[in-house]
Amino acid sequence: MKILANDGISNEGKAALEAAGFTVITDKVEQADLISAVNEQHIEVVLVRSATTVRKEVIDSCPGLKLIGRGGVGMDNIDVDYAREKGITVINTPASSSQSVAELVMGMMFAGARSLHHSFANMKTGDFSALKKRYAKGTELRGKTLVIIGFGRIGQSLAAYAIGCGMKVIAVSNEVHTVKVSLGTLQGLGEVAVDIETVADLRSVIGEADVISLHVPKQANGAAVLNAAEFDLMKKGVHIINAARGGVVNETDLLAAIASGKVAFAGLDVFENEPNPRADLLNNEAIATTPHVGAATGEAQDRIGLELANLIITQFGAQVTA
């Protein structure tokens, strides 16, 4: 059985699949050539991350396709329901990148608190006498309130880090329930966990936030979670982090909130128009940007590759080779 890992796969994942008898192809196929490549090379499994899309036209045009795998959490680049209606198995790896994304968000939170994104860039002037005054008004994360919108695996991982920093965490979810969040094994204490009760009404807590981080999928109707109405309810000087999906924050409304002083800092790893975000986001001094790399750590990619391999081997079994 041939597998096209079109957006790459870790060496560990590839080795596991090949050891089980699968043929793994990692040569990148351009989106326009995907249908012909799948059919001509008799590929039965396509693995993607965020760069490649597998829409209805691909599914209809590739009758030999048996499985589509997404290395990561969100599957908005795959027509999941349609594929499953056609009898194609669709898998993803929701647990493998949680820690990596959470750590990127923490990095953005520290960058916003201490203007690190500016300082790193401007120290090249060689004279920091003026910079020292400019960056002398940083803040601490300890004691601040973090509102996490979306409390799945990534949101819970972020909560653990934030609690470790001494932050108050408010978790927003579709339903009110209690989540036990593990803080890990601490020296002399063993496994430590805290219970967090989620809230369902974002607007009831949004005004308490010093920092807001989003961890929700792209909304079914394409609507943003944070629009002008939500920004109006926030306290002045709030920080916004989006490492979830482009479009869950209305970018035009975000820029307006920055211009008014309502939002003091934004950290964006995802954008409405990827891979070419609008220039006024990239050039805004209040915004730190990264190129959709939340899950892009070596450790996460190893976990993702192995999880995909294990799911495929479980689905199809080891392949008999001549």
Summarize pLDDT for 129-158 with one digit per residue, the tens. Answer: 888 888 888 999 999 999 999 999 999 999
Task: Considering the candidates 57, 140, 197, 274, report the single residue annotated as catalytic.
Answer: 274
Mean pLDDT of 178-184: 93
pLDDT for the residue 322: 43
CATH superfamily membership of 98-289:
NAD(P)-binding Rossmann-like Domain (3.40.50.720)
pLDDT in tens, 268-283: 999 999 999 999 999 9
Task: Considering the candidates 245, 251, 303, 307, report the single residue annotated as catalytic.
Answer: 245
Distance separating alpha carbons of residues 117 and 171, to the nearest angstrom: 27
Q: Which fold has domain 2-94+298-316?
A: Rossmann fold (3.40.50)
Tell me the average pLDDT of the chain. 94
Is the per-residue pLDDT at 190 higher than 90? no
Percent of the chain with pLDDT over 90: 83
pLDDT in tens, 68-112: 999 988 898 999 999 999 999 999 998 899 999 999 999 999 999
pLDDT for the residue 259: 98
Distance separating alpha carbons of residues 292 and 191, to the nearest angstrom: 32
Active site residue 245: yes
Is the per-residue pLDDT at 127 higher than 90? no
Of the ranges 70-79, 256-265, 289-298, the best mean pLDDT one: 256-265
Active site residue 117: no
pTM score, whole prediction: 0.88
Closest by CA position to 272, among listed 244, 294, 301: 244
Task: Considering the candidates 49, 215, 292, 303, report the single residue annotated as catalytic.
Answer: 292
CA angle 98, 262, 138 (to 5 degrees): 70
Residue, of 318 and 243, whose pLDDT is higher: 243
Is the per-residue pLDDT at 320 higher than 70? no
pLDDT for the residue 321: 54
Mean pLDDT of 45-62: 96
Active site residue 114: no
pLDDT in tens, 210-239: 999 999 988 878 899 999 999 999 999 999
Type and span of the H or E element at 61: helix 56-61
Pairing of strands 89-92, 67-70: parallel
Mean pLDDT of 254-277: 97
Residue, of 125 and 233, whose pLDDT is higher: 233
Question: Other C-beta atoms within 10 Å of 83: how many?
Answer: 21
Intervals of CATH 3.40.50.720 along the chain: 2-94+298-316, 98-289
Cβ atoms of 111 and 288 within 8 Å: the answer is yes
Place of tokens 């599957």: 75
